[in-house]
Structures are given as structure tokens and as C-alpha cells.
Structure 1
């Protein structure tokens, strides 16, 4: 069974035999939906989610066309049908699934992170990527929320892990990547400040705090937590 690689973290790309394969728009939507719904989905539900603005008969016709296109990708096709249920072919590996599995392993590890540094650096790179940016499909809303929450916690965990190892550059990069996912979330900003402090860059730590406080006041009319404020106070009075 020939392997096919699907990338949906960032722009959609399907790679077959080391080369990017041209995939029609309808088949892209179907394949991406099946990649996110790893357990598969009923044909009718797939048609309704992919073409919610269409009448049922038109949506079903669009699905049949997308299925036909999907079956032409590789010797075994990208989509398998079992009765009325559709799923992604086992020959297709997905970057989103791999990143979620690695992040879940990281978050559930009870004895600490044991992955090789290169693997962790690669995970940070994957966690920085948004899920299918530019797509406005409604079925992606919840999938994006789940992905963003997963990568937030994983990036923060990686930042703390790198900080404990005194690998300050990857620690700072992971923390900043988390702030890019959610600029208002304090945890990642606090880790970034702790990285600056560990390096002895107190001025950078204070600057980061002031910028974060300004963001909160301008956008939400709130202030950083007492915990973060106390952290800065300790740094500037030490």
C-alpha cells in the first residue's frame, strides 16, 4: 500500500511519491473533513457539513463527485467507504493527527518529557501552524478550537521543559508561539518573562510585562493577575 501524506497544518497539501498532488476543491474539503474526523462520518452528515447551503440532493451529488475525485488519488485512493460510512484511507498519514498524538503524549507523560531534542523542536514547529488557514467552513470552527487548546497547553509545557533544561532560545520560542495562538492568555506570557529572568535580562522581562499589561488594559480593561505582578515586583526589587 503506497503511502500518501496529508498536510492540513497550514495550507492543504497532499503529497504522493514525494510530490505534491493536485486535488480538486471538493475532494480537498472531503479529505480534510475525514482527516479531522478520524473516526469517520456518515455520508449524509458529510454532505450536509460540506455543503450546508445546498439542497440535500445537490449536496449528495457534490459528495459523489468529491468521492470519485478522492478515489483517483493513489492506487488505493484517499477515501474508503464502508456501507454508508466514509473514512480516510489507512495509507494516508496526517500531520494534524501526528501533532495531536505527540502533544497528547507530552501532556500525559507522568515521568517527564523523554523525547529527543530534535523531536521536541519539530513538535514546536508543528504546533505553531494553524489548521487550514483561510478556510471558512463551519465544521472547522470546533476543530480549530480543539487544536488551539491542545497546542496552547503543549507549547506551554514545552516552554517550561526547555526552561528547566536552560535551553532558553527554544523555551522563549515556544512561549511566544503560545502567545501568538492566544495573545490574552497569561500563562505563556508569564513563562516568557521567566525565561528573560533566567537569562538575567530583567529589562526585557519588565518590557514584556508592560506590553502585556497595555494589551489587557486597551482591549479588555483588565490587569494582569497578582501572581504576574508579584513576579515582576520580585525581579525589580531583588
Structure 2
């Protein structure tokens, strides 16, 4: 495709070229998304087997050829590179998921200073290919959820240290939406409320979390979290 080709898979699937949305068939969508999640490329046979696991090898290979043919209609330059028996997404494509993944990974691994925090929170709040239920997507979605969970917690703690209370709350609540049982984002939210002097909000957050744990898992919050609100109201 021409310069400016962009693939979105953190929101409803979309391809744009030069700022204009491009129609993509369902089969080509699945192929483009699959290759976007396998940045190193993959053997054609493996691609066919994973995208069409219920088909015979011959049928899966035919489906792949059809998807490749349909994909060529996405733009004037083929969006998929084929070298020997390997398929990769063309380097002319930018992918929202790649940018978000790389920024989150650098943040969690401590390889760089904080990127655009608020913008990254918005990207990390997105589900990978929402509405898709393909089996090959499940592991990628789980890996993305774990990375964005840790990155959101890191961002929340950074915002909290800087006194950016609203940003810290937004990041922590985005993490809660990924895993409501995980204590770290709840603790950060409680700490932020207390830093603002919002005692009632802090206690409310703690009590809601405690009720969730008791109802679903029959466990209690950690002593560390409980100590934050222990003297504020009868437990």
C-alpha cells in the first residue's frame, strides 16, 4: 500500500490508506490480523492450518489462496509479503497494536522513560480485536491482557507519585476492568483517594473489593490493603 497505510486491531478491525477507510473482506481481515500478531512471519502451511483448523489441508490451503487474492484488493501495493514459503505483513503497514505493545513492554521492562502516559492509558484500555472469537486469537489476547495490566499498574503508580490523581485513578480502574480480582490496582485507587483526602471514596473502594473477593473466592484482601483503611471506619 501507499505511505500512510494503517491497520487497527485494538478497536474494531479497520484498514485506512491515506486517511481513508478501505473495505476488506472477512477472510482478508482474518489473514491481516493474524499476520499482524505474528510479526516475525509464518510458514504458509502453518498459517492455513491455524486460520482454518477444521478444514482438510487442501481446503485450508485453498482458503488461504483466496484470502491472499482478496487481500491484494486492499490497496495498490500488496499488504502481505511472501518470501519462499513464509508470509508477513508488509512493512508499509503501521499497526496500532505494535505501537501499544512496544510502548507497554518498554515501560514494564524499565527500558525507557515514561512515554505519553495518558495516550498510552487509552490504548491499554482497548481489547484486542473486540467481538472476535477465533481460537487462534485467545492466547494473543491473554498475553496482551497481562502486559497491559502490568503497564497500567506502572502508569498508575507513576501518576500517583507525580500527584496526578485523576490520571492515576483512570489507569488503576482500567487495570481493574481487565482483572477485577487483582489487588494492586485496587490498592493504588485507595491510596489515591486517601492522598486526595477522599476518605469515603477510599473506604467505598476497599469495601467493594472486599465484598467481591468474599462473594466470588471466599478470601479477604491482604493485610497491606486492609491497614490503609483500618482506622478510618469499623471493619
Q: What range describes the TM-score normalised by the shorter chain of this pair?
A: over 0.9
Aligned partners of 1:34 and 1:87 also within 8 Å: yes
In structure 2, the CA distance between the partners of 1:54 and 1:114, relative to structure 1 (3 Å rule), is closer
Shift in alpha-carbon separation, 1:2–1:192, aligned structure 2, 3 A: same
Aligned position for 2:216 = 219
**TM-score of the superposed pair, with normalisation by structure 1:** 0.94
What does 1:13-162 correspond to in 2, within 5 Å? 13-109=14-110, 113-115=113-115, 119-162=116-159
CA distance in 2, matches of 1:71, 1:3: 17
List alignment gaps of at least 5 residues for structure 1. Answer: none
In the alignment, is the contact (CA less than 8 A) between 1:6 and 1:94 conserved in 2?
yes
Distance 2:32 2:106 in 1: 25
Contact 1:9 1:129 in 2 (8 A): yes
Deviations 1:183-204 (A, max 9, x none): 1111111101111011000110
CA contact (8 A) 2:36 2:95 kept: yes
TM-score computed with the length of structure 2 as normaliser: 0.95
Of 144, 162, 185, the residue aligned with 1:188 is 185
User: Aligned Cα RMSD in Å?
Assistant: 1.4
Number of matched residues? 233
